[in-house]
Amino acid sequence: MAFSSLWRTLRDRSASLGPDAVLVTPSSKRPFVVDSTDEERIAVRYLDTDEERTLRRDQFAVLYDRLASNTESLSLQALPAGVEPYASVLSLAPQFVVDESMGEMRYAEVGGDEESPFRRPVWTARTEPERVRDDALLLVDHLERYETNDPGSLSSNALVDRYVLLSDVQRGSDRLRRRFGDRLLEYVGPDARLHGRFGTVHRTTRERRHPKDDETVFEALDDAGIPREWVLGVDPEKLDVVLAVTDLDESDVYDVEEQVYVQKTGVDEEAKQSRLQGLKDRLEALDSDDADRLRDDIEALEGRLDALLAAE
């Protein structure tokens, strides 16, 4: 297959991805969209940073020559970050076969009809802030539809939905909290406080202790005249090994306390997407007068809050 034919295929398939699909890079899993194509380039944009990249035709030709001229496979895990989007776009052509289990891409003169594994629905490629926002919106909708603090008044299905949404919001927001907390450390010095509109933060130091290796600990005890027996005890890991290879019963060496709890084992992303789209459609259907009144109410509330805070 001539590279000119492959280039036309890549341009056509890149341009036909549409607004509902994105590509992700093979190793770093960064989502990006194709903004435009022309005779010499494919312009892409990463969704997580809005960084724009130009993927050039001559660089695609280099990869094509390497893969088409011999039987060598391309290791997707070893690709430099700058080459990853090239591999994702190449996978749109049927001649480039991706073996996800091996993490490799190879060239086949007669390709298959498999869809690129790096082509994803845009819903699945949302950024962390977008996921938290969407999950929070779904949770607010659920709280408004079922206005109750009594779990006993909810059906089992409604209980599952609320628990899953609460779990998703907690996990997503906690990841973001840690990221933004690390950034805040640059602004908050020792014994300092930083005030925002909704609260105050200050720097906190917490120590975690880990024993040094046994030889170092024993030497320190010997130097201080402390008997080693004072610190010797049962090692749970070693005890578990003994239980596994002997007839010793667990109840002989452990006090077992059973804890029963609910664990989330799955999330229906398609159902969440469908509900979110319905909420967005309802918001877009608002009359302009209603939307204007809502904005006026919010601005008036913010004005009253500012006045109260200024009076403190």
Q: Using a cut of 0.75, tell me whether the model's pTM lies above it.
A: no
Region of poorest pLDDT, from 58-62, 90-94, 205-209, 256-260: 256-260
Residue 15 CA: distances (Å) to CA of 11, 19, 26, 35, 97: 6, 10, 20, 8, 20
> 22, 120 in Cβ contact below 8 A?
yes
What is 39-107 written as a DSSP string?
SSEEEEEETTT--EEEEEHHHHHHHHHHHHSSSPPEESTT--TTTHHHHHHHTTSTTEEEETTTTEEEE
- Residues 74-90 have a mean pLDDT of 91
pLDDT for residue 306: 65
Domain map (residue ranges) of the chain: 3-122, 126-202, 214-253
Per-residue pLDDT reduced to its tens digit, 44-66? 999 888 899 999 999 999 989 88
Helices 57-68 and 3-15 pack at an angle, to 10 degrees, of 120
